[in-house]
Amino acid sequence: MLTDAEMNRVEDIKARFKTIYGSDPAMVLRAPGRVNLIGEHTDYNDGFVLPAAIERSVLIAASHRSDRIVNGFAANYNRSTNFSLDKLEHATETSDRWSNYMRAMAWTLTGEGMRLQGVNLVVAGDVPLGSGLSSSAAMLVACGLLFSEAAGSRLDPVRLALLAQKAEREFVGVNVGIMDQYISALGKQHNALLIDTRSLTYKAVPLPSQGVSIVIADTNKRRGLVESEYNTRRSECEQAVSILKRFLPSITALRDVSVEEFKQYEQELPEPVRSRARHVITEDARTLQMADALSKGDIELCGKLMNESHESLRQDYAVSCKELDSLVEAARSIPGVYGARMTGAGFGGCTVSLVADEAVPDFEERVPKLYKNATGLDASLLFTGAAEGAGRLL
Ligand code: ADP
Ligand code: MG
C-alpha cells in the first residue's frame, strides 16, 4: 500500500523517535495531503469535489505517557513543543506555532468528551508546507488518529474529518470547507473520490491504471491575501443564495441551483455576485461530468473540463494569479497534456495537469523553463498516483 519512499520515511521516523526518547514508538500514524482534480470552491457551497489523496503524507511516531503531557518534536521545523492536555491554549512563541494544529486537535477531541492521554511524539511530513496540497489537513487528521488511538478509541473516518475541520475552523481560526480533511481521512488508493459535501458521502472513481499521469506543479508563489479573499467569496456566495431564493424558494445553497435555472435568473444578481455564482454552479456541473468521463476513461473530456474549470476560476471567481496562469499556459503548450488547471484555494499554490505518459519527459524538461521565463520563479514538479487515506501503520 505504501510507496517505497514512504516505507523509508516510516523507518526514519521510528529511528528518530528512538534517538530522542530512548525507546521504540508504540504507534505510527499516517495521513496524506491531497490534490483536487476538479470542483474548486464548491465545498462550502454544499457542492461536489473530486480530489485524490497524494503519495505525500504527515507521519507521527508516538508512545503513551502515564500523565497528561504532550511532548512533541517536529522534524520539518527542528523544534519541540511541550504542553498539558489540562491547559490547551494557543502557542504564543513563534518557535512553537507549528504545534497549534496539534493543540487544535487535542482541544476538539476533548470538547467531544474524549479523555485524552499524554504522548511523546515525533512528526515529519513530506507534503510541502503552505503549497495548497493541504499539509494542514494531513497534520490535523494524523493528530486526530494519534490522540484517539492513544485514548484507546477509534473514530469513524467521516467523524474524524469533521472534527479536523472543526479544529481548523474553531481553534486555528481558518474557515475551511470539508474537502481536505475528508479526502485525507477517506482517500482510496488508485481512486479519486467524488464527494458530495452536503451528504458527506462519496463515490470512488478509479483513475486510469496506465497511459496518463497526474502532474502537480508548484508555482512556489506563497499565497498572500487568501483569508480575506476567501471570506469575501463566501459571503458573495451567500448573497447569491439569498437573492436567488426569491425565485427559487427551496434552495439553501448554490448547489441547489441548476445551470439552466442560473441562466434564467442571473440578471437578477449584481456583479461580482453573478460571476461568483456562475463559477460555483458551472463547477458543480463540470465536477459531476468529469467523474462520469473519468469512469468511462474519456480523458480528453476530463482535460477539457479541467481547462474550463481554470478559466472559470480565473475570470468568474477571480482567484487565480499571474503565476498560476503562466504555469497552466506552459503545461497546455506541451503536446500530450490533456488539461491543466489551478488546484486549491488560489492566489498561488499548485496546478494539476493530466499528462499522457509519453509526454511526461517533455513536460519535465520544458514546463519549468517556460514558467521561469514568464515569471522568474522556479516551479517544482511532483508526480503522484492516488494514495490510500489516513491510518495507523503500527
Ligand atoms: P497547506 O496549504 O500546506 O495546508 P497551511 O498553511 O494551511 O498550508 O498549513 C500549514 C501548517 O500545517 C504548518 O504551518 C504547520 O502548522 C502544520 N503542518 C503541516 N505539516 C506539518 C508537519 N510536517 N509538521 C508540523 N506541522 C505541520
Ligand atoms: Mg491548509
Encode pLDDT of 117-127 as tens digits.
Answer: 999 999 999 99
The protein residue with its alpha carbon nearest to ligand 1, atom 9, reads 136
Domain boundaries, the chain: 4-206+388-392
Give Cα 160 distance to the centre of its chain. Answer: 15
Q: What CATH code would you report for 4-206+388-392?
A: 3.30.230.10
Q: How far does the centroid of ligand 2 lie from the alpha carbon of residue 136, in Å?
A: 4
Q: Note if 12 is an active site residue.
A: no
Averaged over 277-291, what is the pLDDT? Answer: 98
Residue 244, pLDDT above cutoff 90: yes
Pocket test for ligand 1, best of 56, 57, 60, 98 (most atoms within 8 A of CB): 98
C-alpha torsion sign, points 307, 128, 359, 323: positive
pLDDT of residue 347: 94
Q: What is the 8-class DSSP label of residue 200? A: T
Averaged over 173-188, what is the pLDDT? Answer: 95
Give Cα 240 distance to the centre of its chain. Answer: 26
Which grid cell is 152?
A: 484507546
pLDDT of residue 1: 79
CA dist., res. 211 & res. 355, Å (int): 9
Average pLDDT of the chain is 96
pLDDT of residue 225: 65
Sheet containing 391-392: give its strands across. 79-84, 69-74, 119-125, 51-64, 27-36, 391-392
- Between 94 and 373, name the one with better pLDDT: 373
- Predicted TM-score (pTM) above 0.85: yes
Query: Which band of pLDDT confidence, cut at 50, 70 and 90, is reported for residue 227?
Result: confident
pLDDT of residue 134: 96
Residues 6+ apart with CB under 8 A from 46: 197, 198, 252, 253, 254, 255, 256
Say how many C-beta atoms besides its own lie within 10 A of residue 354's C-beta.
Answer: 24
pLDDT of residue 149: 97
- Helices in 57-156 by DSSP H: which ranges? 100-111, 135-150
